[in-house]
Structure 1
């Protein structure tokens, strides 16, 4: 079914690869125009090259509040009012808490939590003034279930989820919806970085089967998500088909968390 996004303008962060790139492609397929941003330009410029009439590439460091504000202002001045914003930019630095470095904790929160705050604040104030808009934050199922070795990542994603819900409560009366999508294991570079070197098929099987030694459940549906699976959920929540949904956290993890 069509999501009915013809002519709408979206801002997507972390769009250079993985889930972010899939979100851009899914929005374009539904007729949206997209300002695709990432810290480095290569990935988003490639997207713009594939969709020259629908995608504009812009470099953006989401940890820089002034840069975010400037980009949103310039976008609305040159491309039109933003109807949709999708927070995808994120990093993962894993370590047990007793070995976790201060700089890794700070960097993780700077991107995964502060970045969501900077982007959402900049677009929400403009959407609220217009009385319409949709903000979707891509979080993680780790935000709701403890994960060994991922304390900074899980805590930062939990912060992003609750922030997005609080924002959604504040702007609901002004026509702006705010939701989160929480993926489980998804076949991206971030996922592969967690795998041990060697056979990718064996590593994927271990993820699907789970790991009792780290208290990690398997995936009941028996597959690792494709980025497109996450992108489809994002597009749904961004669209008018979800017009009566706000402050919702949609898990897309094949049942891995048993919705604990």
Structure 2
């Protein structure tokens, strides 16, 4: 067994991340970044370091699952959610349930929560639940804390910042309680094959599947299809796509913004 394969086996056992679900070059890039930071010269040396330094397990897990994001990333997508999707669901549903899958540190989940809060000023009788999940416990802790630097708010206008964030003396901004209480954060492994809930009205999973193998992408498409109610919305990343084997599960809603709807 070569050094890289041996290292992957230890990662699967100790870090509890199944390497075969991800593209090999992605796994190697993330490990190489940890090797540079730990001054280990090859996979064998890093493997030894990993086994001898328990704190490296969490650092490697973070490196493998990191998802760089910001509030209202790709503003055009959120504009469609604000103008079309949420009002449509409010008209048709007494309650709205949304799943932000692979939520990382929570920026996208809170972005949707801000839009939901604004919607509820016009539809006070609608109940909304936002599930936000990720495999990374450290990222989820940051999400639940809800404190971000100014750069994460580049796409948030000043009026929203004043209304929905608390400005701290150290230059950070904290999400206000009226937004936090709309989001339920939970640890969840998308590879488990079990959705966080069923009969959902919308699922967002953006810029997550680009790291997965084609087989795993198809598996996740089936997972989200099973989680959604009929005509539920599925929002994917701008560079993502559905493979031919699963594209029949969804019909286009907004091709430019990569928004789909569950097919009957």
TM-score (norm 1): 0.26
Instruction: Determine which structure has more spread, i.e. the larger CA radius of gyration.
Output: 2
Normalized per residue, which structure has more strand? 2
TM-score (norm 2): 0.26
